[in-house]
Amino acid sequence: MATGRVTTPQPCEAAFFDLDNTLVRGASLFYFARGLHARGFFSRRELRRFARRALHYAVRGEVHGHLLEARDLALAFVAGHTTEEIRAIGEEVYEEHMGAKVRPAARALADRHLREGAPVWLVTAAPVELADVVARRLGLTGALGTVAESVDGTYTGRLVTEPLHGPAKAEAVRGLAVAAGWDLARCAAYSDSANDLPLLSLVGRPVAVNPDAALRRHARRHGWEVREFRRWRHAARWTVRAGAAGAVGAAALGLAGLVRRAA
């Protein structure tokens, strides 16, 4: 179902897609955490710690602290492991959890851009290793994601740059556009979250896909196109503060559910 101002997608120079709840139902970090937990990367106690701290920040709406805490814990889990190992797990996580969660309608939009000759990039705060897998499996042009530092093929537990979230995501897309020579006024972007307003405001064709309440209000005020692919609309209360917690908050709540099931 589509709502709001809907037009037939016009050819554009490039298109940028968010991952969580845009191309894929749910939070990719949750799926990745399930894969790591199943392979013994961290204990049930550590999983509880991750979920408890992430939820602490999500409930209070302290987005910056929440992101830093979730980031540091996630980095600690992969420190000392090889990039080859984590990429292999990313492939398995896609097979086990994510492939069946791809939204057909969102994929159809991406495929249409590709058929019209426009590059399609996945842009997400998820680890770039997982983002690369999803982009390749869906036949997209490429992926931008959060990059963890590695030395001689082994993760150090630090990031190369800040998480690809909010303004950082928009800046990464701007840099990609400059390098490729694209006019962002002739590009499209798709996201479900108000956290991606910097990205959506950057392009000439912003599209709100399954938007949270804050993004839906913004889209209506500015006459942006809204695409609703969920079978039913539901309030974003389960993310506590939909416009603030975003994808990482959703992942934290998903992890809490995993802890309850594992207990």
> Which residue numbers are catalytic?
18, 20
Q: Long-range pairs for 168-171 at CB < 8 Å and ≥24 separation?
A: 169/123, 169/124, 169/125, 169/144, 169/196, 169/198, 169/199, 170/196, 170/198, 170/199, 170/201, 170/202
Residue 85 DSSP SS3 = helix
How many CA atoms does the CB half-sphere of 242 hold within 13 Å?
17
Written as one letter, the residue type at 236 is: A
The two structure tokens encoding residue 80: 């000392």
Residue 83, classed as helix, strand or coil, is: helix
